[in-house]
Structure 1
Amino acid sequence: MNGVEVFLLGRALMKIGEQAMPQPKSGPSGAPGSVRSVVVVLGDVVSHPGTTVGEIAARTGLPQSQVSTAVARLEQAGSVDAESDPADRRRRLIRPAAEPSERVAEVRATTVDDALAAALTGPGGTAPDPQTLREVTEALALLARRLTPSIATR
């Protein structure tokens, strides 16, 4: 497997993840690109609690305006908390919420099973056999444990 193949696999997995996420019960669900930026920002906040919008933008490569929008959505969903930086009141420090909101609990409880089955559906709409689905699910769980240990343990 080469770098391009890993990159394309990553994009395919992102699409499966987006399809698996439950839609919010109220308010706009947002375009797929906005879902990606929110998840990227949340992942960065989890890895770097007490960070600023500017620092997130620098690490992720997302425009600062997109990070600010994602942080606002995450605050509204109860996924992150933000407070003024004591050293510079113009900046806000962002960290994962101490208590998960209902929305966070809902997203965490939702599996990728249906989206994964849809992605593995063969020509003519042939559903994947249960063994294939189980093998791919186990392979994804292994990758999550090895490559994203802080997220996989949640």
Structure 2
Amino acid sequence: MDGVELFLLGRALMKIGEDALPEPPGGTGRYAGSTRLVLIVTSDIAAHPDSAVGEIAARTGLPQSQVSVAVARLKEAGSVQTVPDPADRRRVLVRPAAGVSERVAQVRAAGVESALATALGSDDPQRLSEVAEALDVLKRHLMPAAPYRP
């Protein structure tokens, strides 16, 4: 495998992950189609708690307006909380919520089997099991030890 193949594999895995996520409540409304945006912002907040929206935008390369929309969606779902910045009361800092929201619990409980079967073009149990085991090996070796928070 070369760097390009690894990059393309990563993109394919991201697509499978997005397809495995349960649709958020009101998924056809004002936040429809922003799952990838929310995931990018969520991962940045998990890695950099107590960041201002502008800092998240700078790190992710997303426009500040899109980060604000994602933070609003995450806050509405109970996944993050915002607090005034003690250094500058005009700004707010975003951090993971202290507890697990209903939406986070729903996302964590969702399985990936259906999305994997769609991606593989097969629901063969042996093939699904083999791919799921390979993904578990990758997760064990490549994911940070800290649990996913938001």
Fold shared, TM-score > 0.5 on shorter chain? yes
Report the counterpart of residue 82 of structure 1 in structure 2: 82
The 5 A counterparts of 1:37-116 are 37-116=37-116
Percent identity of equivalent pairs: 63
Higher share in helix = 1
What is the CA distance between 1:148 and its match in structure 2? 2.0
State the alpha-carbon separation in 2 of the partners of residues 69 and 146 from structure 1: 33
Cα deviation, 1:35-89, whole Å, max 9, x if unaligned, reads 1010010011111111111111111111111111111110001110111101111
What is the CA distance between 1:152 and its match in structure 2? 5.9
State the alpha-carbon separation in 2 of the partners of residues 152 and 135 from structure 1: 25
What is the CA distance between 1:147 and its match in structure 2? 2.0
Look up the SS of the partner of 1:90 in the other structure.
strand
State the alpha-carbon separation in 2 of the partners of residues 105 and 81 from structure 1: 17
Stretches of structure 1 that go unaligned for 5 or more consecutive residues are 122-126
TM-score (norm 2): 0.90
Q: How many residues align?
A: 147
Which of the pair has the greater relative contact order for Cα pairs under 8 Å at 6+ separation?
A: 2
Measured at CA, do residues 47 and 87 of structure 1 come closer, stay the same or move farther in structure 2, by a change above 3 Å?
same
Report the counterpart of residue 30 of structure 1 in structure 2: 32
TM-score (norm 1): 0.87
